[in-house]
Amino acid sequence: MRPGLLKSLPQPLSTLVTAVTSLTLWAVWLGWDQHRDVHPDGSSTGPYEAWQVIGLVLTLLPSVYWAASRRHITGAVVGTTAGLTVASFYDWSDDASGLYGVGVTLVMLGTAAVTTGLSFLIASIGRRPQPTAPVTA
């Protein structure tokens, strides 16, 4: 087996881990809340509350950090973006207005942009010069 092949295996693994984590966390934080809140004046909000979305974002951070700190920026970005995009598409595709496509696109673009910036920041902070081992004769 070529040495380059062994080095490239963790990148798909980090993509898979971040994608599965994103799908799972969407289900945990947002998947169970499907009803809009109707206010006394007739307006409606929801179905998600701000704390649910904040919880989703905060619990996604460890998997993004895990991938980006290993210099698997592509895995962090592609996996997280794919996971949240698939989850939002599945969750919203029954919308009769057809506007779910706009929402899914915004989730995809926003996730890709934020995860890219965050991944590069994590990878650049983690770049420290490696100490050289003393040469013994």
Domain count across the chain: 1
Mean pLDDT of the region 55-77: 94
Residue 131 within a domain: no
Q: Does residue 136 lie in a domain region?
A: no
In a domain, 134, yes or no: no
What number of other Cβ atoms are within 10 A of residue 103's Cβ?
14
Task: Name the token pair of 132.
Answer: 């050289």
- pLDDT at position 5 is 45
- Average pLDDT of the residues of the chain: 86
Question: Domain containing 85: what range?
Answer: 11-125
User: How much is the pTM?
Assistant: 0.81
Question: Residue 128's pLDDT is what?
Answer: 61
In a domain, 18, yes or no: yes
Residue 93 lies in a domain: yes
pLDDT in tens, 70-83: 889 999 999 999 99
| Domain-located, residue 132 | no
pLDDT in tens, 9-20: 578 899 999 999
Residue 135 inside a domain? The answer is no
Burial class (CB within 10 angstroms; exposed 0-12, middle 13-18, buried 19+) of 64: buried
Q: Is residue 67 part of a domain?
A: yes
